[in-house]
């Protein structure tokens, strides 16, 4: 095992405090760091950074004992040395750092074609019209309402941002590869000037633009992956229409694009130069790090063995929700968004209660979501598809790259056993930590293995839980310069229901994007109401700092979650 010799406990504490955004003095050595706000993404970042420095510590090891004391013991060994040393490999090899290779000089993004990631390939194949619930792009569309936005400055800002990020100039070839172009085919800012229209006509114009752009399928073969349009409205009001194909950007990347757009609009000279390390190089480095599936001890080989050992115990598909029609009978899927905002006070209370049980807030939401899905599913056991927006720190520039770093993991849910809510959540959290530690073996490969294990029966995980709580999705500066985030929808080919979570100034937005035609009338509305009700009851249950009243609480984190169902209204 490669260990960090010469590292002090203060070094570990300061690293933990840095990702938590707190003073190091407030981080006790023996305290469960999850109770202090540590979550899976932050632990992944720490594990990746320490591996890059030479340690073989894994995310799963950090998650098993999330304390400064335990992490210090993992990272150090007896004796004293100034640098990391390599000893015999032990333990879980899934995240062990490979032998260091001579650093290659950083280069600009090359125009040479390069392979898709497994998730990109799934998006690319799934968008084909002949695929079930295909014929749609993996697309995010956002609107920003402001005033006085200058079309000339906005056009220049978009051009500068596209020039800075190679993947915003990517095209996707017929042979299943991608290529970064020297120049973007973006035609420039489309301006819709309806300043002289009456209020009714202006609103109709906005509705027409939303209907036309929100479900747009970009021509990614031609390099059409991002678009920005501007509506000029009566009274100096403006609306920015922003669309991006998720083949080239994950959630964190959209945050980067929006932040850069604000910077470039304020003053193009303030925008940082293009990074010298691009996504093609990252993928090469990531494949080097993963190793080959037949290479004994490589992260990819260990991850494949982990998942294949678990195949017999995995459910074969997602929740068996009531359907109004078969997915393959829908020729033009249309997604609709439903959402509610959990107020800041309610959210902070859920966070506080979660930490008392050593749970991350994201896992609490995933568990509540699973409970609601299970209440309507005909099968108690099902798969939940969870995207991880994870980028390995293989170079200093990785954090600033715009690309799709998404990997998918599967969680096995079993709502047949009436266990306390907190126990169910802890089980899902353990799964999340274990499975995320073995994400080198793609979920697409896991589903193929699962299909073979079930004699060729179709397997799928079309119900998604995507959580982004690490930072504000839209930077505050966006509101000041270009407008407030007022509306959003996303769609993903072959997905039935996609639950997305975002932080805003008002609280936490919990949004469901679903193919309405797939489900009986009213089902999604009824399920979402049950989900909101469950979260509000969790928020109201036994507030932190008050004597324990779980025995008489409305829900009880220590009792099975009671999900009210109305199958007649929803099915």
Is residue 81 within 8 A of residue 7, CB to CB? The reply is no
Is residue 496 within 8 A of residue 328, CB to CB? The reply is no
Q: Is the pLDDT of residue 38 over 70?
A: yes
Q: Supply the DSSP symbol for 527.
A: H
Question: Among all chains, which residue has been given the structure tokens 């990391």?
Answer: 84
How does residue 555 score in pLDDT terms, banded at 50, 70 and 90? low
Dihedral (CA of 180, 181, 185, 188) sign? positive
Q: Which residues pair with 454 in a beta bridge?
A: none
Q: What is the mean pLDDT of residues 57-80?
A: 69
How does residue 541 score in pLDDT terms, banded at 50, 70 and 90? confident
Is residue 109 within 8 A of residue 277, CB to CB? The reply is no
Q: What is the mean pLDDT of the chain?
A: 86
Q: Which residues pair with 508 in a beta bridge?
A: 342, 503
* Chain segment 191-225, per-residue pLDDT in tens: 999 999 989 999 999 999 999 999 999 999 999 99
Helix or strand (DSSP H, E) at 486: strand 484-491
pLDDT number for residue 553: 44
- Residue 221: count of CB within 10 angstroms of its CB: 11
Residue 505 has which token pair?
Answer: 């100034």
pLDDT number for residue 542: 52
How does residue 558 score in pLDDT terms, banded at 50, 70 and 90? confident
- Residue 476: count of CB within 10 angstroms of its CB: 9
* Chain segment 312-336, per-residue pLDDT in tens: 999 999 999 999 999 999 988 999 9
Dihedral (CA of 20, 24, 30, 36) sign? negative
Residues in CB range of 264: below 8 A, 6 or more apart: 156, 157, 158, 160, 161, 270, 271
Alpha-carbon distance of 391 to 405, in angstroms, equals 6
Long-range contacts made by residues 426-429, C-beta under 8 angstroms, separation at least 24? 426/357, 426/358, 426/359, 428/363, 428/366, 428/367, 428/370, 429/359, 429/360, 429/363
Residues in CB range of 411: below 8 A, 6 or more apart: 366, 370, 383, 384, 386, 428, 431, 432, 435
Range name among 373-377, 403-407, 474-478 with the lowest pLDDT average: 474-478
Q: Which residues pair with 341 in a beta bridge?
A: 509
DSSP string covering 151-217, please?
HHHHHHHHHHHHHH-GGGGEEE-TTSEEEE-SS------EEEE-TTS-HHHHHHHHHHHHHHHTT--
In the chain, the percentage of residues whose pLDDT exceeds 70 is 87
Is residue 508 within 8 A of residue 342, CB to CB? The reply is yes
Residues in CB range of 229: below 8 A, 6 or more apart: 189, 190, 191, 192, 209, 213, 240, 241
Range name among 11-25, 240-254, 479-493 with the lowest pLDDT average: 11-25
Q: What is the mean pLDDT of residues 380-405?
A: 93
Residue length of the chain: 571
Residues in CB range of 174: below 8 A, 6 or more apart: 221
How does residue 94 score in pLDDT terms, banded at 50, 70 and 90? very low
Alpha-carbon distance of 231 to 185, in angstroms, equals 21
- Residue 229: count of CB within 10 angstroms of its CB: 17
Q: Is the pLDDT of residue 73 over 90?
A: no
pLDDT number for residue 35: 65
How does residue 60 score in pLDDT terms, banded at 50, 70 and 90? low
* Alpha helices for 403-552 (secondary structure H): 421-436, 443-453, 476-481, 523-540
Nearest to 468 by CA among 17, 39, 165: 39
Burial class (CB in 10 A: 0-12, 13-18, 19+), 408: buried
How does residue 566 score in pLDDT terms, banded at 50, 70 and 90? low
CA angle (398 as vertex; 181, 271 as ends), nearest 5: 65
pLDDT number for residue 4: 54
Alpha-carbon distance of 464 to 446, in angstroms, equals 16
Q: Is the pLDDT of residue 85 over 50?
A: no
């Amino acid at each position: 095992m490669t260990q960090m010799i010469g590292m002090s406990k203060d070094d570990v504490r300061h690293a933990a405090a840095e990702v938590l955004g707190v003073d190091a003095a407030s981080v006790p050595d023996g305290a469960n760091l999850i109770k202090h706000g540590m979550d899976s993404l932050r632990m992944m970042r720490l594990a990746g950074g320490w591996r890059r420095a030479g340690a073989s510590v894994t995310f799963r090891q950090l998650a098993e004992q999330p304390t400064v004391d335990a992490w210090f013991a993992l990272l150090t060994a007896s004796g004293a040395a100034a640098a990391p040393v390599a000893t015999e490999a032990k333990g879980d090899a899934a995240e062990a750092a490979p032998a260091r290779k001579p650093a290659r000089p950083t280069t600009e993004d090359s125009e040479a074609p390069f392979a898709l990631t497994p998730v990109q390939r799934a998006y690319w194949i799934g968008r084909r019209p002949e695929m079930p619930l295909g014929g749609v792009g993996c697309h995010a569309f956002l609107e920003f309402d402001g005033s006085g936005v200058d079309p000339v400055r906005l056009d220049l800002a978009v051009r500068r941002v596209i020039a800075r990020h190679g993947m915003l100039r990517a095209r996707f070839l017929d042979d299943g590869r991608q290529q970064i172009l020297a120049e973007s085919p973006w035609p420039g800012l489309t301006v819709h000037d309806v300043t002289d229209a009456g209020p009714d006509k202006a609103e109709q114009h906005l509705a027409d633009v939303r209907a036309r752009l929100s479900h747009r399928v970009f021509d990614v073969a031609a390099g059409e992956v991002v678009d920005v349009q501007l509506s000029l409205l009566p009274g100096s009001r403006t609306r920015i229409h922003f669309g991006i194909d998720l083949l080239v950007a994950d959630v964190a990347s959209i945050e980067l694009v929006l932040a850069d757009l604000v910077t470039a609009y304020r003053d193009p000279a303030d925008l940082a130069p293009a990074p010298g390390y691009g996504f093609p190089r990252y993928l090469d480095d990531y494949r080097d790090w993963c190793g080959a599936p037949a290479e004994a001890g490589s992260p990819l080989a260990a991850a494949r063995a982990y998942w294949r050992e678990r195949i017999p115990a995995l459910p074969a598909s997602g929740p068996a929700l009531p359907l109004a029609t078969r997915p393959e009978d829908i020729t033009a899927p249309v997604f609709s968004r439903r959402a509610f905002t959990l107020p800041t006070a309610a959210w902070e209370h859920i966070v506080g209660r979660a930490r008392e049980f050593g749970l991350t807030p994201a896992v609490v939401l995933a568990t509540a979501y699973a409970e609601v899905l299970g209440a309507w599913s005909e099968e108690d056991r099902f798969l939940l598809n969870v995207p991880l927006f994870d980028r390995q720190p293989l170079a200093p520039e990785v954090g600033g790259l715009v690309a799709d770093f998404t990997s998918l993991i599967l969680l096995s849910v079993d709502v047949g056993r009436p266990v306390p809510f907190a126990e169910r959540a802890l089980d899902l959290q353990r799964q999340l930590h274990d499975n995320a530690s073995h994400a080198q073996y793609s979920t697409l490969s896991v589903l193929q293995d699962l299909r073979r294990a079930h004699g060729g029966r179709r397997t799928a995980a079309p119900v998604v839980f995507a959580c982004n709580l690490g930072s504000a999705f839209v930077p505050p500066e966006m509101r000041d310069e270009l407008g407030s985030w007022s509306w959003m929808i996303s769609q993903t080919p072959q997905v039935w229901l996609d639950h997305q979570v975002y932080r805003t100034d008002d609280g936490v937005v919990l949004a469901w994007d679903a193919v309405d035609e797939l489900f009986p009338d009213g089902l999604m509305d009824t399920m979402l109401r049950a989900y909101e009700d469950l979260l509000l009851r969790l928020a109201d249950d036994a507030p932190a700092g008050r004597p324990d009243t779980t025995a008489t609480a409305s829900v009880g984190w220590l009792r099975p979650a009671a999900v009210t169902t109305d199958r007649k209204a929803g099915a």
